[in-house]
Amino acid sequence: MSERAGPVVLKLGGSVITRKDQPETVDESKLDAVAATIGEAAVDSLVIVHGGGSFGHPAAAQAGVSLASGTHDTTAISEIHAAMGRLNEAVLDALHEAGVPAVPVRPFSAGYRDESGAVVQPTGAIETMLGEGFVPVLHGDVFTTVDAGATIVSGDELVVSLAASLAAQSVGLCTTVPGVLDEDEDVIPEIERFDAVEGVLSGSDATDVTGGMAGKVRALLDLDTPAQIFDPDGLAAFLGSGAPGTRIDGSSQ
């Protein structure tokens, strides 16, 4: 029996599927369009991770919880997790409507941060889901964290962890921009070192507790597998094994 190829790991940015300037508001037209593209691509092995957008970020910011700052307040933890659950349900509904066999994976119940703050996301259940033809759908969430209660785990961190653990064949981040942009708003074709683009990267205007574009680039540079950052117009190309947007490849460093 031949060894199963690693999955495609796709991140749907929170700004793509929600209206980040309107609390807990799904951008239904964009979400439906993205889901339809995924359904039409019919990728054999796919893992989806989505961001928090206007659901998780405001709740986390109000509680003062971030990637590095934790809380033991169970009400705050429950509120952030519940907000992400509401968005996850909307994403699943759209994917089901598009014929995608999507199933939920709630990170808070499955993973944690260890003593060093590193993400630990076991993948046994996810591998079994893939083997049965399902499309696991994870999301940014709260994460129990050793000596810190609970912190935020970003979708980007989960993408990196999953891509490494599952030996992903390709990694893509679908964002609101066509790639990482330079000073002239042109797409940077490839990034191999963070310091080469640090000066042009900036955070989102909307509330974001996970580092914005700079955080995405830093996380993806840690991967052995090159990744692509693109907008919804590039999604079909990515799912068709193309290379839209910006290629992030830190493997040579």
Distance CA 193, CA 111 (A): 29
Average pLDDT for 26-54: 97
Q: Is 242 annotated as a binding residue?
A: no
The DSSP line for 149-206 is: EEEEE-HHHHHHHHHHHTT-SEEEEE-SSSS-B-TTSPBPSEES-GGGTGGG----SS
Structural domain for 52, as ranges: 8-248
Per-residue pLDDT at 59:
85
Distance CA 71, CA 63 (A): 8
Q: Is 11 annotated as a binding residue?
A: yes
CATH assignment at residue 92: 3.40.1160.10
Q: Is 12 annotated as a binding residue?
A: yes
Residue 253 lies in a domain: no
How do residues 179-206 score in pLDDT, each as one tens digit? 999 888 899 999 999 888 888 886 544 4
Q: What is the pTM of this model?
A: 0.92
Q: Is 211 annotated as a binding residue?
A: no
Distance CA 207, CA 24 (A): 12
Q: Is 149 annotated as a binding residue?
A: no
Per-residue pLDDT at 224:
87
Q: Is 14 annotated as a binding residue?
A: yes
Residue 66 lies in a domain: yes
Q: Residue 110: what residue type?
A: A
Q: Is 212 annotated as a binding residue?
A: yes
Residue 1 lies in a domain: no
Number of domains making up the chain: 1
The H or E element spanning position 11 is strand 8-12
* pLDDT band, very low/low/confident/very high, at 3 (cuts 50, 70, 90): low
Give the chain's mean pLDDT: 91
How do residues 70-92 score in pLDDT, each as one tens digit? 999 999 999 999 999 999 999 99
Q: Is 139 annotated as a binding residue?
A: no
Per-residue pLDDT at 198:
82
Chain position carrying tokens 């259940």: 125
Per-residue pLDDT at 204:
47
Distance CA 161, CA 120 (A): 8
3-state secondary structure 36-94: HHHHHHCCCCEEEEECCHHHHHHHHHHHCCCCCCCECCHHHHHHHHHHHHHHHHHHHHH
Residue 102, pLDDT > 90, answer yes
Q: Is 53 annotated as a binding residue?
A: yes
